[in-house]
Amino acid sequence: MAKSRDEIFKEVQAVLVDALGVDEEEVKPESTLMGDLGAESIDFLDIVFRLEKAFGFKIAREELFPIETMMSNPEFVKDGKMTAKGIAEIKAKMPHTDLSAFEKNPDMNKLGDLFTVSSIVNYIETKIK
Amino acid sequence: MRWIWIDKFVEFESGKRAVSVKNVTLAEEHLHDHFPGFPVMPESLCIEAMAQTAGILVGQARNFEEKVILAKIKKAVFFDFVKPGDTLRLEATIESITAEAASTCGKITCGGSTPSTSSGQAGSPQDEKLIAEIDLMFSHIDKNIAGKEFPEENFVFTDTFKMLIRGIGMENKTK
C-alpha cells in the first residue's frame, strides 16, 4: 500500500532524529542535512542504512547522494565551482532535488545545501510508487 | 590493529556475528586512577572493546582486504559499572555491509555462563547482567574518502592481531 507523503516525511524525520542526534522539531522539510542538521559524510551512509531498514528496500548511496563520487572529477568541478557539465550530471542523477538556487551560483561550498529533508522524501516517494 | 583490548573470540559466524571475551584486571594501571578507591573500567574503553570485536567481524567478512576504520558511534548506552575481576562478553552483529561501510549493533554483558569457559567460575545465565548497548559504523576507507590515497598495506589488520583470531579458524584468510 502506498504511503502518503506525510507518512514518508514522519519516517524520514524519525530516521534523521536517530542518525544525527537532532530534535524532531529541527527536522523540517526545508532543513539542509549538512548546514542545518550537521550531517557529515559518514552520516550519509548511516542515513542510507537506516532508510533501507525503515522502508524495506535497497538504496544505492550514489543514487540518493550522488555528489560525493562527482567531487573528485575535474570535469565536474573547476575552481571551487561546479561546471555546466557537472550541473547537467546532477540534474540527471538527482531528479528528486531542487537545483534552481544552486544553478545561479554553483559554488561547491553551497553544495551541501542541496541535500534537504524534502529531497529524501521526494526520493523515497518516487521509489515506492 | 596496533593494540589489542579483547582476550579472545568464543563464537564467530563469518559475516554475521561474533562474541569475544575481555577479562578486566586491577593490574590494568588506568584503573588505579579511574577512580582512586573505586576502580571502574572507563566507558570509552568498553566502546573500544566493542569496536575491536565488531571491527574484526567486519574485516573478516571481506577477508581482511579492506581497511576498516571506526567511523561513528551510533549509540552507546551504559547500564552498569565494570569492575576488576569481571569477565565481559561482547556480542556484535552485522546489520548492513556494503562496499563502502558496515553498521553493527552490539551488547556487552557480564557474569552468566560463557559457553567456552565451562570451567572457571562462570555463573548461570540468570546471573548475567547487561552492561551496555553499543551500535557502531565502520568505513572501508579506500572506498570512501574521495581522492585520498592510503598506504597499500593494510595497517588496520597487522600481524599483532593475528594471534587473536587464531583458534577461531580465521587466520588462514588474512593477508
Chain A residues 36-75 with a CB less than 8 Å from chain B = 41-43, 45-46, 49, 52-53, 61, 68-69, 71-72
List of domains in chain B: 8-160 (3.10.129.10)
Q: Is the pLDDT of residue A111 over 70?
A: yes
pLDDT tens readout for residues A1-34: 578 999 999 999 999 999 999 999 999 999 999 8
Q: What is the pLDDT of residues B31-85, one digit of tens each?
A: 999 999 999 999 999 999 999 999 999 999 998 888 899 999 999 999 999 999 9
* pLDDT, averaged across chain B: 85
A42 chain-B contacts, CB cut-off 8 A: 71-72, 101, 137, 139
Nearest CA in chain A to B143: A69
Class of domain A5-128: mainly alpha
The pLDDT assigned to A87 comes to: 86
Indicate if B34 belongs to the active site: yes
Q: Annotated catalytic residue: which of B30, B32, B34, B140? A: B34
Whether A69 and B146 lie within 8 Å, measured CB to CB: yes
Domain spans, chain A: 5-128
C-alpha cell at B129: 547482567
Nearest to B100 among A52, A61, A71 (CB): A61
ipTM, interface predicted TM-score of the complex: 0.76
Q: Which of B103, B139, B146 is opposite residue A49, by nearest beta carbon?
A: B103
**Alpha-carbon gap, residue A9 to A117, rounded angstroms:** 8
Contact B96 A69 (CB under 8 A): no
Whole-angstrom distance, CA of residue A106 vs CA of residue A68? 15
Task: Write out chain A residues lying below 8 Å of B68, CB-based.
Answer: none
On the question of pLDDT at B130 being above 90, the answer is yes
Q: How far is CA B151 from CA A31, B142, B175, in A?
A: 38, 10, 15
- The mean of the pLDDT values for chain A is 87
Tell which residue, B91, B2, B84, B13, has the closest CA to residue B50. Answer: B91
CA dihedral A88, A89, A92, A98 (to 10 degrees): -70
